Every structure is written in C-alpha cells, then in structure tokens.
Structure 1
C-alpha cells in the first residue's frame, strides 16, 4: 500500500486532499473494452455469479475489470445503484492507479498480487469510505488479463474484517483462470493438479495444457508458481522435465481411476495428484455429427462418451474410405476385430471381407483365402499377424504384391515395429503393412466403462435385467486384464445365475486370480481387509461413497493396521 501511495505522489503527481469523482468511460469506450475482454468475461461469468451469491448478504459488490482497470462486468444490489455508480462500483468505472489513486484493482494491475485497500488506505478523499479486496486473473500465457474485485460502500473499521473476503476472491480468481484454460484447451490435453485427492476432480489448484508432444502451451498462475515462479518460462517445457510423467502416461490419470491412485511424483521428492483430460473431437465430425442428424453409423456402437475413444473412432472412420493400410494394436480383448469389421462397413464400397487367422494358416490355406492373382476389391483383415509363421510372412509379402486393390487392416497384440527390429517379424512385410497405426486402450483406461457394461447387458437380456448399485460399482472398479473378453464372460455368468430382475454382487464371478470372496452381507472390516484397507476400492465393492466408508469406520472404531 505504501508503495502505491509513493507512486501516486512521485510518479502520477496526485494530491491526496482532492475528492475527484469516479471516472466512468463512455458507452463507446465500454463496448470496446468489453469486446476485447469477451473471452475472459465468458469464462468468469459463472464464477462471478457464484461469488456474488456468497457475499451479497454482506452488501458486497462484485466487479471484473480488464487489465486497464475498466469494469467490464458487475454484480451489485440494484436498490443501491445510485450510490454504487457514484462510488465507481459500477460498469464502466475506471480504476487504474494513475487515474483513481491507490485502490485494490489498480494496485493489483501494477503488482500482479492480491490486495486489500481498506478505507483510509485509499489515496484521495473520494474513496475513504470503501473497503476493496481484489485478486489478479492471468490468462493461459501468463499475462495479466483481468482483476476480480469485491467492495463495500461501508465496512467495519478493522482491516482484519476483510480476511475472509481475501480468501473468497483469491479462490474465485483461481477458478476463473481454470475455467479460461479449459475453454481454450478443448483440443489439447489438460493436466489438473491438486495436493489433496478429495479436491482433485472438483476444485484443483493448478493446471497446464499440453500439445501432442507433451510441451506446455498454457497454464494457470498457480502452475507457474508451482513449476518455478516465473510464468512465461513455463511455456514450451516438456511435462517430463517438470514431473515424473510422460505424455504417454496421461491416460493413466483420467477419471476412470480413483483419485488417490492418480499420484504424480515431482523431481524434489514431493507428490501431487493428477487429473488428465483428453482432447475433445471437433464438433460436426464423425459419430457426433451423425448423432446430431439422428443417424447411426457402424462406429457408434463401439464407444460412449470417452474423448480418447471418440478421437480414435473419428480417425478410423476417415481411414475407412481409403486404401491406406491400418494397424490396430492393443491388449487382448480391447475390440480390435470389432473395429476392423466396423471400418470395413464404414468404407462404403461393396468389398468382400476376407479374414485371415494368422496363427492357424498353412501355405495352401493362405493362397486359397487370398484367391487368384489380379485386381481384387476386398478388405483383408490379418488377425494377430505377429503369430504368423516366418515362412508364411515371406510368402504373404509376395502374395500381396500380386493382388493390388486389397484394403489391409492388421491387428496385433504386440509392438510390431519392435518385433521387426528384433528380427521376429519380416521387415518387407512390416513396411508393406505399415500405414496408419491406431492403439485401442484397455478397459481400465476408458471413461465409458459404465456405458459399455449397460450396452453389453442390454444385448444379452433385452433390458430385462439390471445391475444393483453395488454390482455396478464392483464391475466399474475392476482392472479387467482380459478386457472385453473378460467383461462379456462375467456378464454371461451373472445373467445365468441371476434369479430375478436385478443382478447383485453374489451373481458376479470374482476377478481372475482373486482368491477372496466378499459376500454382500460381509462386515465392513471384512470388506476392508479383502481390499487391503483401500477405502475407495471398498466403497466400490459396497456400492457407496468413500465418505460413507470413512463415517462407518469412525463409528465402528476401525483403523488400518500399522
């Protein structure tokens, strides 16, 4: 505050005894300022409304000023409009320090730090009745973009009365920065970070946006401070230089895993909890466009609202109408053959579908499957191509050269490029098959597992059976090492054992390799012991919230073993 007073006297040449009225810009000027701040206003609007609801009963006014100090958005009590306008707590008021003297918004613009200017702290007699608390808002490039300010026309005498106001306004400014980053990063990865797993998905403290190579292209101010303090220096840095995390590991931090398991280690030995949000598919493309038109396509049945899967299906759909070879890789049971058949249908042309089980082929069978040499209009799906014997790999290379017009779709459960480099796969065949590569994620990394379970269950029962909350939580919480194959067999068993119209925990087969059976009426302590005292896992087994498990533990006096 004293530094601001010094600037007012020595730099701006102001007289503290003067009582200059509030400066209000013209309507034309206000429109220009609002147009320039349009994106920030949109990002901040919801946060301002929430903040005003919190402080309105204490007669606070909420203002958003741009980086030049002009109020571009405002929430206040309409019964006091004349008083608010006269005090400059209104739309169009200009609070830059060189014009209004020492004030919270103006000081924030100069220093970039939160500020409370209380009563006589103000420079000049015109504002000494006010108490104002403000926090800066930075854009995703580390530049000051706006200031969030809450003010009182009249306030209690002690300055400490504004401590709560400071907490509220700084938290709201942080949330506005987060909302602005999210709005600008719909086509990019966003990594949100929190020191507390309970707040990770609802109110994280910091966030960065990343390009496809894992370089930082946007960040909140808290992230700038977390990773070194000087904001713009963060731009362009690789995420693996800041955290013990690679861009390939981002899907492991998506919302399908419990928050307390999404640990991100820092170079200094500390740890945070991370929530990764995948890029959204462009609007008006692929499956989304068809749904908006009310039409279904062959890809629609393969995924629900999982951004990563929707992006993959969009790429598959675009490739389906070309002759570019496609390699579909992923763990066993991730749906590679389902996608291959969907791509064949999505291609649109009348082609024959030829499927070759590579592990079971002989020379005669392979030649018979591909037909005579010449122009062939067909889709050739090579299933588990890595299991084809070495001599047949050489033969297949030659056969493909004699049969132009084949659209190749290859599935593999291994890294085919690595197998080629290690001499386990025929190099000429690898380069003949290599084109576009699509990696299908395992079920444990998919965000639409609940949708997938419902779809598979409806396919088996026509909607006659449903899952209890406990059974649903159990299925969604499993790792599914066998992916779709394991999930489908588990549902088959549950449907066969179900006596009634609701599938409950007793009807579900235990996960492969599990030697512990948890009955529906087990005590909480038995469930916790079976889950290794992992409260989130126990909550999923019981079909309740983690907070419910914590309350029951306290009530029953249960504590994890030392």
Structure 2
C-alpha cells in the first residue's frame, strides 16, 4: 500500500513515541496519547504496518446482531432520525456492539466503495485492540463520548476520517453499544466536530432511555427532570421501582442521582442501595399517588442528595395499576383551607403536611419565613381548618402597635386604669381570642417587659388586665410568626429563651417565593383572588406570566400581589401584558432608581422624591411625553403609568366630560 507524505509523517510520530524519543507529541490530547500508548505497549500494534479493514462474515455478523437484537429493535428509530440529520453533511452512521463490531449502518450508496475501503461499513471491527485509536474503540475502552479527528487515529490509513462516538449503557451502567457518526472528509479544525459530539451524545441517551423503558415496561418507573416542562417529553432521570419503593434499575440520569446520594451518605454495606423514598423527600404513598395528584400528573419533590427540586411522574405498566390506585384510596382527607396554599412545591408540601397534623392540637406554633411569604395566611388557614374554627381568630402585629400601647392592647384595662383610656375600660386582644386563636405576628419585635407577662399568660392561661386585681381565665391557642433569626435575638439578650421554647411547640418554615417550584400556581391564585376582589376579569398574557416567573421576588407573595394589582390598575385593556407590570418585573432585576415598590391602591403623592424628579423632567420637556420617554429610555405607556401613579397631569389636559 503506497503511503503519502502525511501518512508517513504520522507513522514517524508514533514510532518516536514508541521508542521514547517523543514522550508527549505536541498538540495531541491526553486521551489520545493514552490510547496511542496502549496501542504501542499493550496491543503491540506496529504503526509502520497499517492493518487492512477487518469485516466479519455474514454468519459471524448475524451472531453479533442476534446478541443485541432487543437493542437493535428499540434503537432503529433513533438511528434513522440521527442519520437523517447528518446525512446531508457527508456523515455515515455506525452502531456497534460492546466488542466494537458494526451491527447497524446507515451510509451513502454513491460512496460505497470508499466507505468499504475505510472500514465504515456493516460488520467492520472497530475494537481498539485491532483498529487502534479510533472513536468507537477508545469510547469502548474509556466508557466516554469522544471525537477522534483525522491524525488522532492510530492507523495511518484512517487519518483522513473524523469520527465521533458515544456509549450506550445498559440499566446497570455497563457499556452495551456505541453510537458513531463518521465522515471521509472534514475541516482540519477539531472544533468543527463540536456539534457532532453533542448530537451523538443526545441520541445515545435517547436510545438508552428507550431501551430502559422497553426493558422495564412491566415495572413502575419514576421519570423526573429539574424542569417540569420536560418530564413527559424527555425526562432526564428514569428509575424502575418495586411497589415497596425499592430500586430495581436506573438510567444514566437516575444512576447519577443514586451515586450522588451514596457519596453524601456512604452505604452501610457493599450491596445496599437507597430506595425511592430515600432518593426523594417523600413517602411511598406520595410517589405511588402521583397519577391522581393533578392535571399534568406531575409532582415536585426535593432530591435529598443535592437539595434540588425534581418534578416527578409515575409510569405504570399497562393492566397493573393497583399500587397507584391503592395510594390514591389511602390519600389524606382534603383540607381546603390548607390545600389551596400550595400546589406541589416540596417545601410547602412538608409545611402543610405538618400543619394538617397540628390543626386540631393546642400546641403553640411558630411560623418563620421572609417578609411577605404569607405567614398570617398560613396561621389563619391553620385556625380555619381546626377545632377552633368557629371561635375568634385575633391577629396582632407586634411591630405595628406603639410600645406604649401594646400592653393595654394585649391585656386590656379596667375603667380608670390610666388617663386617656376608655371610660368603660377595654377587653384586651388576648381576652377577645378566648376559645380561639391568638396570632402574634412579628413576635421578635415584642418588648422584653411584655415578654415576661406573655410568658405568664402561656404558663397559667390567665390574663391580668391593667388595673385589675383578679386574673381572668382564657382558653387560647397561640400562633406566632417572625422573619427574624430568633436564636440571634436570644443570644443578643433581646428575646427570652424560656418564652421562645413556650412559643415554639412546633415550627413551620415558609419558603421564599423565588425558591418555590409552584410559582405558576401562586401567580394564578393571586391573579384569581384579585379579580374576584375587584369584580372584573383581566387576562394574564403569556409574556407577563413569563416575566412574573423569572423575577426573584424579594418581597415574596406580598410583592407579587402588589405587582398584579398595579398591572390591573394601569392596564389600558382587560389584558395584562409584560409592559403593564412594574418595571422591576419587566427587567427581572433590581428596581430602577425612579420607581419604588408599587402600592396601586394608594398612589404616591406628587411631592414624593420620585414623583418630583418625574415632574421636573416633564416641565423641562414642556410636557412632551415622547421626549421624556426617550430621555429615560422607557416606553411612552410607562411614562403615562408613572404620571398616573404620582398624580401628575399636564397643564393643558382636558378631563373627559
């Protein structure tokens, strides 16, 4: 076989490497150099004597094909689709078994002779031990996707080829096949094959998942993804389970989750593997009951291994749904007051699950969470769903009542107890809550002297009004809330530790809105509630929903309510678009300097700092709104919304008669 100059130079490079004269050939990747070293040292391949293409006989090929018959059946659609995408670019497609034998091939008839000569053909052997460094053989050895581009091949007769391969693994993680696309000619740059690597990897995973679903079609399968929209379409994780939750097998994504879990919690025995309820923060009934859990049959759970939110669905075998049905039959009794507070956010699910257990108990509850997360809403739902629902729910904001009045407001007073009081005295808020629930919001702001009196009330279930000599018995359940770190307040001496433990019989931690997986549900609920409150319908357009989902919500649900109320107040039609939202929501960033957090029900006075700045701009521009909009870099409707918010009206404006 006559060799051209480039091939001879390639052979010389390999000979120098084999003789130790060139320890690290310049410009070649480590993965390629390691393969070359195997070819020279372990396989004893002679670079000066290129091997002829090895193609199996028809009978030997059939034996290899029969050994992977099930995979070939499942992979056919993926093979055809991938070839359809790369054929016009000059690529052919090979699917090999775990020994590197090409068991499926898609090519170009007009190139038949050249492809046969290059070994890109059905029955060709691409094992690294025979063919040397190549995409298929090196992929089989390393178990990783790789591009072997031109002179990276070991055999000099292959250096015109570019080949990209990815492994297809069985449910136990063992390589059972390799998917490869190759071309006889390609650009010199290896970077030109970046797209090929991504594409082959994608289709290898698709074939692998199709094989997994076929192999375990008679089992329960958990399918999950970190994006809800992709779960049914192409969920990255597949885990086959028994009806008791034990894991049978997993695909590439599922095995990665299991491995991450085992790294975090090392196994206590060599053969131990975590069950489904250990992988996800869920009970078995939660997982088996997914098919009846909502319109899209998807639920969100926290992955214990990495604390990320995973959206999970359950694939049930045909003709055998008893596990899911049993789980649905054993589902907890609905509690509407609590159920409507969340959809399937894992953190909220835990909170509401505990709240259901506590709703009929008299144990004190401390609700914690950032400002605006809905602590009072949860407290009221806890009251409305419990045995005290027909009794008073009295809410007290400890941060809003002046310190000089909070004692009289809470404990009440008798006639003449102090100057300025009501002539007939007043029942305090604690007494008003008798039989029901006393909700103390922002408990961390309660003055220390008052904490002592509250501790006595909780201990003795008696209240002493100002000016009274005899205590009054009260039957109350106390629910408190705070956005502060109570342990820091205790350490700083600003909150009594004994009172804290009295109040913290159970703690419910509300997640921030930005952390919730059910933000879309929250948006829909807030939107619906505001429409009902105002007696008018506003359609929430998709671009507005996308912006609301993307925003970080530092003010949480309270800020979301203000944002949607603002849009309702300023929208020119009965449809809310992106441009009707407050500017900070449109940008998905921090509020601009000219806009404060909107309060649509009470417009800011024109004399505010922001309103004054806008007024000066308008006056300098002779009330030319277009000019002001250009200067601020916003749209004209935005300027008009700001004007309405600050009560600014052009001097020549004529009100409608």
User: Does the 8 Å CA contact 2:128/2:134 hold for their aligned counterparts?
Assistant: yes
Q: 1:71 to 1:446 in 2, by over 3 A?
A: farther
Match of 1:223 in 2: none
Match of 1:459 in 2: 529
Could you state the TM-score of these two structures normalised by the residue count of structure 2? 0.48
The structural deviation recorded for 1:495 is: 3.9
User: Does the 8 Å CA contact 1:328/1:439 hold for their aligned counterparts?
Assistant: yes
- Counting matched residue pairs gives 425
Match of 1:385 in 2: 443
CA offset digits 1:100-142 (Å, max 9, x no partner): 54432212444668342659956498xx699351256799xxx
Q: Aligned to 1:114, which of 133, 146, 150? A: 146
- Residues 343-354 of structure 1 correspond to what in structure 2 (within 5 A)? 343-344=382-383, 354=393
Match of 2:135 in 1: 104
User: Does the 8 Å CA contact 2:168/2:179 hold for their aligned counterparts?
Assistant: no
| SS of 1:411 mapped into structure 2 | strand
Match of 1:318 in 2: 353
Match of 2:561 in 1: 488
- Residues 116-515 of structure 1 correspond to what in structure 2 (within 5 A)? 116=148, 118=150, 121=153, 123=155, 131-134=161-164, 149-152=179-182, 155-156=184-185, 160=187, 163=190, 166-172=193-199, 278-280=308-310, 297-303=336-342, 310-323=345-358, 326-344=365-383, 354-357=393-396, 359=398, 360=406, 361-364=409-412, 365=428, 367-369=430-432, 371=434, 381-401=439-459, 409-434=479-504, 437-443=507-513, 452-461=522-531, 464-467=537-540, 482-489=555-562, 491-492=564-565, 494-496=567-569, 500-503=573-576, 511-512=596-597
CA offset digits 1:318-370 (Å, max 9, x no partner): 20233475432233322111223334456699785644415254234365256
Match of 1:21 in 2: 55
Mapped to 2, the partners of 1:96 and 1:469 lie a distance apart of 53
| SS of 1:321 mapped into structure 2 | helix
Unpaired stretches in structure 1, ≥5 consecutive residues: 36-40, 191-218, 221-231, 237-275, 532-537, 543-562
State which drifts further: 54-63 or 471-480: 471-480
Could you state the TM-score of these two structures normalised by the residue count of structure 1? 0.54
User: Does the 8 Å CA contact 2:135/2:180 hold for their aligned counterparts?
Assistant: no
Q: 1:425 to 1:31 in 2, by over 3 A?
A: farther
| SS of 2:55 mapped into structure 1 | coil
CA offset digits 1:272-315 (Å, max 9, x no partner): xxxx9941266689xx989x9998944454346xx7xx112211
Mapped to 2, the partners of 1:367 and 1:402 lie a distance apart of 13
Q: Residue 11 in 1 paired to residue 45 in 2?
A: no
Match of 1:56 in 2: 87
Unpaired stretches in structure 2, ≥5 consecutive residues: 1-9, 15-32, 213-220, 228-251, 254-259, 265-305, 315-323, 399-405, 413-427, 462-473, 584-594, 598-608, 619-623, 640-657
| SS of 1:302 mapped into structure 2 | coil
User: Does the 8 Å CA contact 2:567/2:581 hold for their aligned counterparts?
Assistant: yes
Mapped to 2, the partners of 1:277 and 1:131 lie a distance apart of 45
| SS of 1:362 mapped into structure 2 | helix
State which drifts further: 54-63 or 465-474: 465-474
Mapped to 2, the partners of 1:49 and 1:435 lie a distance apart of 62
Match of 2:605 in 1: none
Q: 1:6 to 1:470 in 2, by over 3 A?
A: closer
CA offset digits 1:240-269 (Å, max 9, x no partner): xxxxxxxxxxxxxxxxxxxxxxxxxxxxxx
The structural deviation recorded for 1:447 is: 6.5
CA offset digits 1:450-502 (Å, max 9, x no partner): 65444433333356223567876776777655544444345445545556423
Q: 1 or 2 for the larger relative contact order (CA 8 Å, sep ≥6)?
A: 1
The structural deviation recorded for 1:385 is: 1.8
Mapped to 2, the partners of 1:55 and 1:160 lie a distance apart of 15
Q: Which has the larger radius of gyration?
A: 2
User: Does the 8 Å CA contact 2:394/2:429 hold for their aligned counterparts?
Assistant: no
The structural deviation recorded for 1:99 is: 5.0
Mapped to 2, the partners of 1:530 and 1:189 lie a distance apart of 37
RMSD: 6.2
Q: 1:77 to 1:173 in 2, by over 3 A?
A: closer
Mapped to 2, the partners of 1:443 and 1:313 lie a distance apart of 10
